[in-house]
Chain A
Amino acid sequence: MPGVYVHIPFCESKCPYCDFYSITNGARFYNKYLDSLFKEFDYYLNASKNQEPIFSTLFIGGGTPTVLSAEQLYRLINGLLSNGDFQNNVEITVEVNPKTLTDEKVAALKEAGVNRISLGVQAFQDRILKRIGRLHTVSDVFQSVKILRKYQLQNFSFDLIFGLPKQSEQDWSDSLQQAVSLNPTHLSCYSLIIEEDTPFGLLKNQGKLVLPDEDSEYRMFVTTQEYLASNGYQHYEISNFAKEGYQCKHNLIYWKNKSYLGLGSGAYGYWEGVRYGNIEYIERYIESISLHGKPEYGYQEKLDVKTQMDETIMMGLRLISGISVAEFKERFNRDFRDVYRDSIEQMQQRGLVAFEQGCLKLTKDGIALGNLVFSAFLRDSLDK
């Protein structure tokens, strides 16, 4: 069943590594923006010709959703839930910044039905947090967790980043240890990717960014896997770890390459075979919704079957359990062992993929060298 992603493109300040769309000082748009989101959601509900879709997940991300007031947060989530048809046990996640979290906001989230929190922790060293432009401190993190527990929101996940400028392997181990001590149900551990059009991207081009070398980053990755496994977290996606039963359902939709709606300025969606991205200017987004009752797209691409298959493999291989031959066959009516025979053989020979219980999955080496594997599965348009 499909999910809904809602983008809140507002932040208190921009982080120098982030390339998601957001603006600062956007408070004057908040209410209008929420109204537009409801209208956009309606547009899709009405446009779905057959029957109204039933959604299984709702994910509020950003940006920084918690720059909104408690009241606005409640209005947002409640509004979406009462408009669309959501499953009874819908997973509702909100991304939360430790700096902007208050009792009042958590109470509002809880009241609105939120049952999962993703906390942008990133690191457990104030000097590192400062260097990467985060406004919060380590004590804000502890404070946030305290509030979440107070309101019975124990299902929370931490985002952590390794490979940060001047981060030592010891720093990273310490972060993992502290994170685990707070007993989250889920951990996302990303390696820092320097994107071209960010301040960090510019610094890197000028040779002014001191990053851990590849070997060190590799060791941090290995440490992550080992340490979290020994503490009861299952590695279920390249960068994601969860306690039994706490995998993120919403993100699984992405990795299984299923449909989801993306709402809001700069949001991306995959709906009825079309991948789209909404326009990134908040004012134009709002204007377009109010004038035409539908969003203006900055990007739209109808995916042909070949691309759908390739993306399904590329995303599916990110899951540690791999891609099921049966599921693929059910969806595309093709056996992917035929479609990708050469690629599979090549990658098997190099020890990067293996078959296990009817699934093709990355090996331990394959996980670290995922890009090599993914690109091997992208076919030229001339192939087959």
Chain B
Amino acid sequence: MQQDRIRNFCIIAHIDHGKSTLADRILEYTGTVSDRDMNDQLLDSMDLERERGITIKLTAVRLTHRAKDNQEYVLNLIDTPGHVDFSYEVSRSLAACEGAILVVDATQGIEAQTLANLYLALEHDLEIIPVINKIDLPNAEPERVIKELEDAIGFSRDEVVLASAKTGQGIEDILDAIVERVPAPKGDPEAPLQALIFDSHFDSYQGAVAYVRIVQGTLKVGDHIQMMSSGKNFEVSRLGVFRPATVAVDQLSVGEVGCVIASMKNVKDTRVGDTITHTKRPANEPLPGYRPAKPMVYCGLYPVINEEYTDLRDALEKLQLNDAALVFEAETSAALGFGYRCGFLGLLHLEIVQERLEREFDLNLITTAPSVVYKVKQTSGKVIEIDNPASFPPVQMIEHIEEPFVKATIMIPESFVGPVMDLCQDKRGIFLNMEYITTDRVRIEYELPLAEILMDFFDKLKSRTRGYASLDYELIGYRESDMVKLDILLNGNPVDALSCIVHRDKAQGVGRSLAEKLKEVIPRQQFEVPIQAAIGNKIIARETVRAVRKDVLAKCYGGDISRKRKLLEKQKEGKKRMKALGNVEVPQEAFMAILSVD
């Protein structure tokens, strides 16, 4: 493969701006996939991805394009996930490219996430090709969007490609622009091997598969390789490129993108961001930027039926094979019994894992409210990290508590500035700055506690801006905050799994509305169930679930009998999905009630 005929690029876009459709069109245009094999949105292969319209696992595909100089070029398209939970993965796939297509929706304009990814791309010195997509739509405003690109980012009008992934318009222009503007990969095929892992997945037959970009040197089948972060050694059994199905090759040389199979048992052996080198002639140093995935959010996962505890562990282990960012360890809750404390990159990651556990492994789960990791300085001077409200030390042992803060960037039409600033203030935000990108679009930056973002911040933001807001955030460190532990008592007994950490100023209000919310979701039982919210020994709110008085089928004759039996069986099934805490039956939603509290 001639190095100067390779172009490695990715597409960055906000959700819904048409990244996947554009990728599909490019695949079709270059003949990589025939119409017949075209399954809508090919790069999103997991069912969940298609349903949610997001890309969770990135993949890569190799295209060939005959450019204007009548030469054939190999174009490697590396897909990037489109969600802020996965920003580290995005940064690794950007590091594997020399160029990026920046897709902006002609009807929407620039969004916070587009900008965040764009800045990331610029940090990696990528050549950016701005593409305005969806220009076929009647409400497209390409002129306005070009102006935004000029004003906010400093592109010149001639750089911008107008396209419609739907109709295919502009696709050739994009491909030509890639060949002309994106630089060929640099590097020396004879140098010691440095291959950047930008993704991995687990295949039940071949083990962990690493997706790599060769930055220096050449990798061949049979080579002995070493993972530079762990020092682990493997022997390469297969190499492949993606067209888009994997096609075996003998070697991958500098600038190429492909996959490495080497009897690796676990995706932990193929950490994203790690560097592969040769065992015998290792590179002096790994490629920069490797960082082990660090969970930002924790929650407890408990089987509704205690016996499913081992099934849950097996399922988590299976998911972990394919998801190096998922961590879990056993924990016990006085209320819920045996379960696992699990760490996630963010809320979306959490939801995806939870949904896969329920869908693919048919488990009935209780998820406790997500929590960030707090740093608690104890009076003894010792600092402990706590990711579970239930394990907070008693008040008298706490000197102070620190919580993670993020810098949030929000982009909105000018008319929503007021409501959005109110929301941020309400969520304990600290205003940083505000900037007009164009005459009617504004970028606001706030420092916010991560815990507040985990709640319903994004939903609220969307509803207050009629869906026009976009949000991006990055962790900026820990700050001291006046946090207290809010306990919930059902029938007089504290339920550890319902405890949460809240800011002291808000504790009263949260306690009240949490108690109200619980009253709504806990069904009436045979006995009255008092619900109390408490801080320490002080009860701050009280509600009562009233006793059920009458529940009996009035008429039960003849043909009704089997039908009524089935009706009662259904009622019983519903009960099974509830967790019995003492003699109170509590539905799954109760443990997430805190998320919908005002």
A-to-B contact residues, CB < 8 Å = 5, 190-193, 214-215, 217-218, 221, 238-239, 251, 254-255, 257, 260, 262, 267-270, 275, 277, 301, 303, 307, 310-311, 314-315, 318, 350, 352, 365, 367-372, 374-376, 378
The smallest C-beta distance from B577 to any residue of chain A, in angstroms, reads 14
Docked CA distance A214–B523 (Å): 14
- Chain B residues whose CB sits within 8 angstroms of the CB of A314 once the complex forms: 561, 564-565, 568
Stretch at the interface among B414-422, B459-467, B552-560: B552-560
Docked CA distance A277–B571 (Å): 23
Docked CA distance A375–B553 (Å): 11
With contacts A375-B572, A378-B565 known, is A369 near B560, CB below 8 A? no
Docked CA distance A255–B557 (Å): 8
- Chain B residues whose CB sits within 8 angstroms of the CB of A376 once the complex forms: 572
- Chain B residues whose CB sits within 8 angstroms of the CB of A370 once the complex forms: 551-553
Docked CA distance A378–B526 (Å): 19
Nearest residue in A to B556 (C-beta to C-beta)?
A318
The smallest C-beta distance from B425 to any residue of chain A, in angstroms, reads 37
With contacts A251-B557, A369-B526, A378-B572 known, is A275 near B551, CB below 8 A? no
Nearest residue in B to A255 (C-beta to C-beta)?
B556
Which of B550, B560, B571 makes the CB contact (< 8 A) with A375?
A: B571
- Chain B residues whose CB sits within 8 angstroms of the CB of A239 once the complex forms: 554-555
Q: Are A369 and B550 in contact (CB under 8 A)?
A: yes
With contacts A378-B569, A378-B572 known, is A371 near B559, CB below 8 A? no
Docked CA distance A290–B457 (Å): 69
A-B contact pairs, 16 of them (CB 8 A): A191-B552, A193-B553, A193-B555, A214-B550, A238-B552, A239-B554, A251-B557, A268-B560, A277-B559, A310-B565, A314-B568, A369-B548, A369-B550, A371-B551, A371-B552, A372-B526
- Chain A residues whose CB sits within 8 angstroms of the CB of B560 once the complex forms: 268
The smallest C-beta distance from A238 to any residue of chain B, in angstroms, reads 6
- Chain A residues whose CB sits within 8 angstroms of the CB of B583 once the complex forms: 350
Within 8 A of A (CB), among B497-546: 526
Docked CA distance A378–B562 (Å): 12
Residue from B552, B560, B561, B564 whose CB has the most chain A CB atoms within 10 Å: B552
Q: Are A311 and B559 in contact (CB under 8 A)?
A: no
- Chain B residues whose CB sits within 8 angstroms of the CB of A369 once the complex forms: 526, 548, 550-552
Nearest residue in A to B583 (C-beta to C-beta)?
A350
Docked CA distance A347–B562 (Å): 23
Q: Are A368 and B553 in contact (CB under 8 A)?
A: no
Docked CA distance A352–B547 (Å): 14
Q: Are B554 and A193 in contact (CB under 8 A)?
A: yes
B-to-A contact residues, CB < 8 Å = 526, 548-562, 564-565, 568-569, 571-572, 575, 583
Q: Are B549 and A218 in contact (CB under 8 A)?
A: yes
Nearest residue in B to A219 (C-beta to C-beta)?
B549
Docked CA distance A268–B571 (Å): 23
The smallest C-beta distance from B235 to any residue of chain A, in angstroms, reads 48
When A and B form their complex, what is the total count of cross-chain residue pairs whose Cβ atoms lie within 8 Å? Answer: 99
Residue from A277, A318, A375 whose CB has the most chain B CB atoms within 10 Å: A375
Q: Are A311 and B565 in contact (CB under 8 A)?
A: yes
- New A-B contacts (20) at CB < 8 Å, excluding given A5-B558, A275-B562, A378-B569: A191-B550, A191-B552, A214-B548, A254-B558, A267-B558, A267-B559, A268-B561, A269-B558, A270-B558, A277-B559, A307-B565, A314-B561, A314-B565, A350-B583, A367-B552, A369-B526, A371-B571, A375-B568, A375-B575, A376-B572
Q: Are A254 and B557 in contact (CB under 8 A)?
A: yes
Q: Are B550 and A311 in contact (CB under 8 A)?
A: no
Which of B553, B555, B558 makes the CB contact (< 8 A) with A262?
A: B558
- Chain A residues whose CB sits within 8 angstroms of the CB of B559 once the complex forms: 262, 267-269, 275, 277
- Chain A residues whose CB sits within 8 angstroms of the CB of B565 once the complex forms: 307, 310-311, 314, 378
With contacts A369-B526, A378-B568 known, is A315 near B556, CB below 8 A? yes
Docked CA distance A307–B564 (Å): 13
Q: Are B550 and A221 in contact (CB under 8 A)?
A: yes
Docked CA distance A193–B567 (Å): 13
Docked CA distance A257–B558 (Å): 9
Which of B552, B558, B575 makes the CB contact (< 8 A) with A268?
A: B558
The smallest C-beta distance from A307 to any residue of chain B, in angstroms, reads 8
- Chain B residues whose CB sits within 8 angstroms of the CB of A191 once the complex forms: 550, 552, 554
Q: Are B561 and A270 in contact (CB under 8 A)?
A: yes
Nearest residue in B to A163 (C-beta to C-beta)?
B554
Residue from B551, B558, B569 whose CB has the most chain A CB atoms within 10 Å: B558
- Chain A residues whose CB sits within 8 angstroms of the CB of B564 once the complex forms: 314
Q: Are A215 and B549 in contact (CB under 8 A)?
A: yes
Docked CA distance A192–B555 (Å): 9
With contacts A217-B550, A238-B552 known, is A374 near B558, CB below 8 A? no
The smallest C-beta distance from A95 to any residue of chain B, in angstroms, reads 12
With contacts A192-B554, A218-B549, A315-B556 known, is A254 near B561, CB below 8 A? yes
Nearest residue in B to A21 (C-beta to C-beta)?
B559
Nearest residue in A to B549 (C-beta to C-beta)?
A218
Q: Are A190 and B555 in contact (CB under 8 A)?
A: yes
With contacts A315-B556, A372-B526 known, is A218 near B569, CB below 8 A? no
